[in-house]
Amino acid sequence: MLTTYTISVFTTNTIGLLNRITIIFTRRRLNIECLTVSETERKGVSRFTIVIRNENREIVEKLVRQIRKITDVLAVFGYLDDEIVFNEIALFKIATPLGSPALDVKTINLDWNAKVVHWGLDYVVVEKNGSEEEINEFYAYLKQWEILEYIKSGRVAVGKTEKGLVEYLPEGNWEIV
Amino acid sequence: MGKTQIEATQPTTTQSSNFKTGAQAVMQSLVEQGVSTIFGYPGGAIMPTYDALFDYRDQLKHILVRHEQGAGHAAQGYARMLNKAGVCLVTSGPGATNLITPIADAMLDSTPLVCIVGQVKANLLGTDAFQECDVIGMSMPITKWNYQIVDPNEIPEIIAKAFYIAETGRPGPVLIEITRSAQAEMMSIPFKYQKCESIISYKPRLEPKEEHVEAAAKLINGAKRPYILAGHGVLISQAENELKEFVEKTGIPVATTLLGMSAMDADHPLFVGWPGMHGNYGANVLTNSCDVLIAIGMRFDDRITGDLSTYAKQAKVVHIEVDPSEIDKNVKADAPVVGDAKAALKALLPLVKKADHTEWRAEFKKYDDEEYEKITKKDLYHEGNQIKMGEAVALLSDKTKGEAVVVTDVGQHQMITNRYYRFKKHNSIVTSGGAGTMGFALPASFGAKVAVPEREVIAVIGDGGFQMTLQELGTIAQSGLPVKIIILNNNFLGMVRQWQSMFFDNRYSFVELQNPDFITIAKGFGIEGHTVSDRNNLGESLDTLLNSKKPYLLEIICEKEENVFPMVPAGACVTKVMLE
């Protein structure tokens, strides 16, 4: 059975590190579902959130160890979905020319927990946060209108422990941003 | 490599000045790091550094190779002998790409290298400038760490870091690329070199965890049929004495991997040979009979394990390894011990019980006897005048008392050398194991000789591999160092021919060589040599080789279609050993 794994990689902020990490996946023919890179609350520490699906937990464990081996990597964690709080964000650009069915903003707001973030002349942009599943369901609902563009971010995730980032990092003077 | 534009002379400062050009900073950093030898080849994008080297030529011995690949392999041979980083200096583009093979080889065989390569000026990066290549991108998967310097101020810190990363933990190659502009520009801060002692994101664990050591000791103490596989990690951490003490106390038979050869005295009663594709009969078969398999500083390469699904399934596995990513990678460890082999053995020693395992050890003997009858005897004592590879190596072993440094290339002669050279001295094998790089031996033997000029260094090479890097005869001749070179010539790419014979229905597809006159070639480079083809003259010929005070090439014409046995076919179970 395919299981979703979220791999959080904490690194020093170094040029080329993204490449060093992704070639580990490429070499093992593992497909990255989505990838998000951002700075953390600690100066000089970047965070990669990588989602992969695999049937074999062992392969994922080996992958995590290979990533950990990279010299500029500070810490790596592989999570199952129930071990993290995670979310994605999607933007939908929907055509609203004269004569098209009216957008049901109330339903979008209340039932779907989404919102219109931009009103164009003949279109609107709707933003929806949630899990991939929720976003897919929302996509299906929006199909009754013409969807001009759809984009979804990679996953962002934090572990469901009480620990802060610093406790995962090697001992050091991690200045807060 | 190639031409370079002539430019106005860079402003130079004296060596003593605290403000240095990037190029001077490179030199001063190497000196302060304790580097004495550089293997290199100049070219356009590294010229400012070579210009600075001219002023440092008394402090840094630079060896001009004939091809950058030669620089890499020579640095590997050097590093393996001294257990410290070999240094290469080459230019950008093709200079750097020629280093790719040695870097990959060093990565697979855990050899510390610091490769300093030139790059086009910073303002030309990404423009497809002359001799510009994305060497950082190319070397990423085959380096332990790499870094591009565009600011000369970074040079001392990055070089210090490079040596630290290359030499500590599981050693490996590091590549530093320096733009021509960063070499030529003045540093804006005073030069200061400080050796690197730690990196926040890189913390190799050398001392094993106490609970891991205890768990391992418990398994070992409970074992009735324990078996040790000792690898390259033992040589790297210089744990040979600890290993000896450990096995003598516990009475555990020990095999060494191809790269771990010479970790044990070949005549030690507890030494049972080597495992793997062309390893010894008992050393392979009994892997699947032992109850506790103790792997020390090795990584369960597929050439050792064969079919993983049938490999040592009955055994509990103790895996002592400095690289945590090797634990459970190929073989599941019941008692993993992450740490340096020396530290782990030291920690284990007081916890393990004295034992003998006489009966269990006798099982190895039974297999040895059969192997001797079926293979060794035929290799060493046979009729006719033709020379077999095995007898040549066995005689070499006798004549050098097993005390030489033996450097092999890749193929049949490599397996035969490990089979018949009886290593008596620690850290005496240099071979390309993981990558299996043909052309490795000639430059690597030279590098080894540079590192340990007081030792006899002998390169054993096949006729195929020799032709891949034979231009390094020029380097050897220029140095005058008495490297002893043996070509075991069977006029074939022998190992491939063996496979074609055994597994491809005798269809010899492009394996026969029309060889040049190797002796004439050697003489062209100014190296003496001769050919021997009659076994009656073999001893005398080896004496000539060994007695030479200069580099010498001995070509031994061997039986053409000899196959190497024992053999575990690729991917087969380790008990499926073919003896003929």
Same domain, A11 and A73: yes
Q: What is the largest CA-CA distance in chain A?
A: 63
Q: How far apart are the C-alpha atoms of A45 and A165, rounded to whole Å?
A: 10
A to B CB pairs, distance under 8 Å? 46
Mean pLDDT of A31-44: 94
| Per-residue pLDDT tens digits for B347-377 | 999 999 999 999 999 999 999 999 999 999 9
CATH number of the domain encompassing residue B479: 3.40.50.970
Contact in structure between A43 and A109 (CB atoms under 8 Å): no
Chain A nearest C-alpha distance from B290 (Å): 26
**pLDDT at A71 exceeding the cut of 50:** yes
Mean pLDDT over each residue of chain A, to the nearest integer: 94
Report the share of chain B in percent with pLDDT over 70.
Answer: 97
Residue B5 has pLDDT above 50, yes or no: no
Judge whether A106 lies within some domain: yes
Which structural domain range is residue B321 located in? Answer: 210-363
User: By three-state DSSP, how is residue B155 classified?
Assistant: helix
**Mutation for testing the A interface, residue in B151, B163, B201, B330 having most A CBs under 10 Å:** B201
Supply A106's token pair.
Answer: 């109330």
In a domain, A174, yes or no: no
In the chain, the amino acid numbered A160 is: K
Measure CB to CB from residue B140 to each of A12, A23, A66 and give the nearest one: A23
pLDDT at B521 over 90: yes
Residues A19, B329: C-beta atoms closer than 8 Å: no
Q: Is B580 or B159 the better-scoring residue by pLDDT?
A: B159
Report yes or no on B14 lying in a domain. Answer: no
* CB-CB neighbors (< 8 A) of A66 in chain B: 325
**Interacting residues of A121 by C-beta distance below 8 A, sequence separation 6+:** none
- Looking at the fold, whether B470 and B336 belong to one and the same domain comes out as no
Paired strand residues for A79: A6
User: In this structure, how many other beta carbons lie within 10 angstroms of the beta carbon of residue A147?
Assistant: 14
What number is the average pLDDT over the span B173-183? 98
- Give the model's pLDDT for residue B16: 52
Report whether pLDDT(B61) > 50: yes
Q: Is it the case that residue B338 has pLDDT exceeding 50?
A: yes
A-chain residues near B140 (CB < 8 A): 16, 19-20, 23
Interchain proximity A15–B148, CB inside 8 Å: yes
* Chain A residue with the nearest C-alpha to that of B330: A62
Residue A175 lies in a domain: no
CATH value at residue B247:
3.40.50.1220
| Mean pLDDT calculated for residue range A38-49 | 94
| CA–CA separation, B248 and B1 (whole Å) | 54
- Is there a single domain that holds both residue A16 and residue A28? yes
Burial readout A6-27 (b: 16 or more C-beta within 10 A, e: otherwise): bbbbbbbebeebeebbeebbee
pLDDT single digits (tens) B291-314: 999 999 999 999 999 999 999 999
What pLDDT sits at residue B1?
44
Q: Is residue A41 part of a domain?
A: yes
* ipTM given for this complex: 0.91
Query: Is A11 in Cβ contact with B201 (below 8 Å)?
Result: yes
| Nearest CB to B202 within list A16, A65, A71 | A71
Strand partners, B505: none
**Would the CB atoms of B325 and A68 count as touching at under 8 Å?**
yes
Residue B215 lies in a domain: yes
Do A170 and B145 lie within an 8 Å CB cutoff?
Answer: no
* Interchain CB distance below 8 Å, A72 and B323: no
- Pair (A9, A93) in one structural domain: no
Q: Is the pLDDT of residue A114 over 50?
A: yes
For chain A, the domain total comes to: 2
Query: Which helix (H) or strand (E) covers residue B460, if one does?
Result: strand B457-462
Least confident of A134-138, B6-10, B267-271: B6-10
Judge: A20–B144 Cβ closer than 8 Å, yes or no: no
Per-residue exposure over B284-311, b if at least 16 CB sit within 10 Å of its own CB, e if not: bbbbbebbbbbbbbbbbbebbbbbeeeb
What residues of chain B have any CB closer than 8 angstroms to a CB in chain A?
A: 136-137, 140-141, 144-146, 148, 165, 199-203, 323-325, 327-329
Once rounded to an integer, what is the mean pLDDT over residues B176-188? Answer: 98
What's the CATH number where A131 sits? 3.30.70.1150
User: Is B5 contained in some domain?
Assistant: no
Average pLDDT of every residue of chain B: 96
Instruction: Give the N- to C-terminal CA distance of chain A in Å, as an integer.
Output: 41
Q: With a cut of 50, say whether residue B2 has pLDDT above it.
A: no
Question: Searching chain B, which residue's CA lies closest to the CA of residue A66?
Answer: B325
Are residues B358 and B222 part of one domain?
Answer: yes
pLDDT exceeds 70 at position B10:
no
Asked whether residue B485 falls in the same domain as residue B396, the answer is: yes
B68 contacts B139 by C-beta, under 8 angstroms: no
Element (H, E) at A114: strand A114-119
Which residue of B lies nearest to A12 if distances are taken between CA atoms?
B201
N residues, chain B: 580
Per DSSP, helices labelled H in B381-451 are 389-399, 412-420, 441-451
Domain presence at residue A33: yes
Residue B223 shares a structural domain with residue B310: yes
B221 in the same domain as B165: no
pTM of the model: 0.95
User: Does residue A91 form part of some domain?
Assistant: yes
Q: What are phi and psi of B96, to 5 degrees?
A: -75, -40
Structural domain boundaries, residue A27: 3-84+156-168
Residue A173: which pLDDT band, with cuts at 50, 70 and 90?
confident
Give pLDDT, residue B203: 93
Residues B244 and B129 reside in one and the same domain: no
Nearest to A73 among B140, B165, B201 (CB): B201
Amino acid at the residue A106: K
The Cα of B325 is separated from the nearest Cα of chain A by a number of Å equal to: 5
Span B106-112, average pLDDT: 98
What single string gives the DSSP state of each residue in A55-106?
A: S-HHHHHHHHHHHHTSTTEEEEEEEEGGGEEEEEEEEEEEE--TTSPPP-HH
Closest to B137 (Cβ–Cβ): which among A11, A19, A61?
A19
Structure confidence at residue A172 (pLDDT):
84
Q: Is residue B51 part of a domain?
A: yes
Nearest CA distance, A69 vs chain B (angstrom): 7
**Domain-embedded: residue B201:** no
Q: Are residues A80 and A160 in the same domain?
A: yes
Could you write out the three-class secondary structure of B221-260? HHCCCEEEEECHHHHHCCCHHHHHHHHHHHCCCEEECCCC
Percent of chain A with pLDDT over 90: 84
Choose among B201, B323, B327: nearest Cβ to A74: B201
Q: Determine the average pLDDT of the residues in B187-208.
A: 95
List Cβ neighbours of B559 (8 Å cut-off, separation of 6 or more). B386, B387, B388, B389, B490
Contact B144 A71 (CB under 8 A): yes
The average pLDDT across B335-351 equals: 98
B577 located within any domain: no
Beta bridge mates, B87: B114
Clarify whether residues A92 and A53 are in a common domain: no
Q: Which of B564, B569, B254, B269 is nearest to B410 (CA)?
A: B564
Q: Give B350 to chain A, closest Cα distance, Å.
A: 31
Domain count, chain B: 3
B205 neighbors B172 (Cβ within 8 angstroms): no
What type of residue sits at position B241? N
**Domain-embedded: residue A12:** yes
Are A37 and A121 found together in one domain?
Answer: no
Q: Are A127 and A10 in contact (CB under 8 A)?
A: no
Residue B538 has pLDDT above 90, yes or no: yes
Same domain, B154 and B70: yes
* Per-residue confidence (pLDDT) for residue B12, from 0 to 100: 45
